[in-house]
Amino acid sequence: MKKVAVILAGSGVFDGSEINEVVLTLLHLTKASASYQCFAPDKPQHHVLNHLTGATEASSRNVLQESARIARGEVQALTELQAEEFDALIIPGGFGVAKNLCDFALQGAAATLDTEVKRVCTEFAEQGKPAGYMCIAPALLPLVYPAGIKLTIGNDADTAAALQQMGAEHIECTVDDIVVDAEHKVVTTPAYMLAQSVAEADVGIGKLVTQVLAWS
């Protein structure tokens, strides 16, 4: 059975992981008879947003504890993740990826990675293991892989320009498709960067999971 590590960034599209993307990822992995283990950084979120109003709240939440809401408690601290124990890596999107796993949402092309995120993603890359990044998560890729890494976030011009400034080759992509960098075994899909419904997000995510497992 293929074993996949899934990195989460909290719970909720605006300050954590995009819940539908996570659930669809886990569903497709399970239907493909693959096993998975969720991980998340054990640290405070960048900030907390009220998902009903969009307002910033004064409270503080922990990324690992919030991720446990999606993973039904089955999540481990990112410090426990060792690439050699897994066949592949998948990172769903959500603005928490660009706020908690890195600071792309704040710094754009000058972004830096969380230390543990960089360690883990680099381990998978250096070991030649396949990886899937969706939605805004491809913003992590230029900070892990060599210049020229092929990726997509869909068709948002400003985001694509920032990623190209960071050294990536951005390829426009529809919501129901994927972009494959066969040299580095990396696959990306726009998901909710473009999706207008959970059904639309599902198609590209399904293709991403299929490709990741095909390489595993």
Catalytically active residues, by annotation = 135
What dihedral do alpha carbons 153, 155, 158, 159 form, nearest 10°? 0
CB 202 within 8 A of CB 190: no
Is 131 strand, coil or helix? strand
Residue 215's closest CA among 189, 190, 191, 184? 184
CB 75 within 8 A of CB 40: yes
Question: How far apart are alpha carbons 180 and 212 in whole angstroms?
Answer: 10
Question: How far apart are alpha carbons 201 and 207 in whole angstroms?
Answer: 10
Residue 175's closest CA among 153, 190, 158? 190
b/e for 129-142, b at 16 or more Cβ within 10 A? bbbbbbbbbbbbbb
Question: How far apart are alpha carbons 203 and 207 in whole angstroms?
Answer: 6
Tokens of 13: 């599209």
